[in-house]
């Protein structure tokens, strides 16, 4: 199954971002907007993982969560990866978030999952561009967004069902959640 490791913003942060992006979402209907109820910060994308590797992964992620503390985060402004991905930036205790992302990658590697070597860029994906999209005006329109600070208290292992949501979006299913209990 297709898996990733993530933390999620709490309902207040989702509601705030949802209303802050409502007008721009309506103004750019050709973009594939991600759904507020599915918003997350991907820490490690694992791709297809077999049942055996998953069992070992679950044990290791549980231990990683026990070793890492809750972290204070906020969502601010916007940026893009080319004209493919529009995102809002993660600010706050990004060093702790990076540490947790690194631990998730190590956990995956130890059970034989090949994790991409790309440097981790903390972000929350808001939309994906179809061919010929120009994300620059959308980034400009969201530049002034400054979200409240919230605390990430849990680590999640999430299954992705590609194209299984409304309008061909992917649907995510949380398989395991662990409290962050390190200090």
Q: Smallest distance, Å, CB 101 to ligand ATP?
A: 10
Q: Min. distance of Cβ 154 from ligand ATP in angstroms?
A: 17
Could you say which of 66, 148, 162, 175 contacts ligand ATP (CB under 6 A)?
Answer: 162
Q: How far is the CB of 114 from ligand ATP (least distance, A)?
A: 11
**Contact at 8 Å (CB) between 97 and 71?**
yes
Residue 15 or 162 with smaller CB distance to ligand ATP: 162
Give the neighbor-by-neighbor strand order of the sheet with 123-128: 32-33, 123-128, 85-92, 71-81, 146-152
Q: Is 170 in the site for ligand ATP (CB under 6 A)?
A: yes
Chosen residue from 31, 104, 125, 178 binding ligand ATP by CB under 6 A? 125
Residues between 77 and 106 that touch ligand ATP (CB under 6 A) = none
- Is 165 an interacting residue with respect to ligand ATP (CB under 6 A)? no
In the list 116, 134, 140, 173, the residue contacting ligand ATP (rule: CB under 6 A) is 116
- Residue from 4, 33, 39, 150 touching ligand ATP (CB under 6 A): that is 4
CA atoms of 87 and 39, how far apart (whole Å): 11
Segment contacting ligand ATP (CB under 6 A): 17-25, 90-98, 146-154, 156-164? 156-164
Task: Work out how close the CB of 80 gets to ligand ATP at its nearest, in angstroms, rounded to a whole number.
Answer: 13
Give the separation between CA 166 and CA 68, rounded to whole angstroms.
Answer: 35
Q: Which residues are marked as active site?
A: 40, 123
Rounded to 5 degrees, what angle do the CA atoms 130, 124, 60 make? 120
Contacts with ligand ATP by CB under 6 A lie at 2, 4, 42, 45, 116, 125, 128, 160, 162-163, 170
């Amino acid at each position: 199954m297709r898996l990733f490791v993530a933390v999620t913003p709490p309902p207040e942060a989702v509601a705030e971002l949802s209303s802050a992006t409502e007008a721009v979402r309506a103004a750019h209907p050709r973009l594939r907007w991600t759904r507020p109820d599915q918003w997350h910060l991907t820490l490690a994308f694992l791709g297809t993982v077999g049942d055996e590797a998953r069992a070992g992964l679950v044990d290791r992620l549980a231990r990683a969560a026990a070793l890492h503390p809750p972290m204070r985060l906020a969502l601010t402004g916007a940026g893009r990866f080319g004209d493919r991905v529009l995102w809002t930036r993660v600010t706050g205790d990004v060093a702790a978030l990076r540490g947790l992302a690194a631990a998730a990658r190590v956990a995956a590697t130890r059970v034989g999952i090949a994790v991409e070597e790309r440097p981790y860029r903390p972000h929350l994906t808001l939309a994906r561009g179809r061919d010929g999209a120009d994300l620059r005006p959308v980034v400009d329109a969201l530049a002034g967004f400054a979200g409240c600070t919230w605390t990430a208290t849990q680590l999640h292992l999430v299954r992705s069902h590609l194209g299984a949501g409304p309008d061909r979006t992917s649907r995510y299913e949380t398989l395991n959640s662990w409290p962050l209990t390190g200090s």
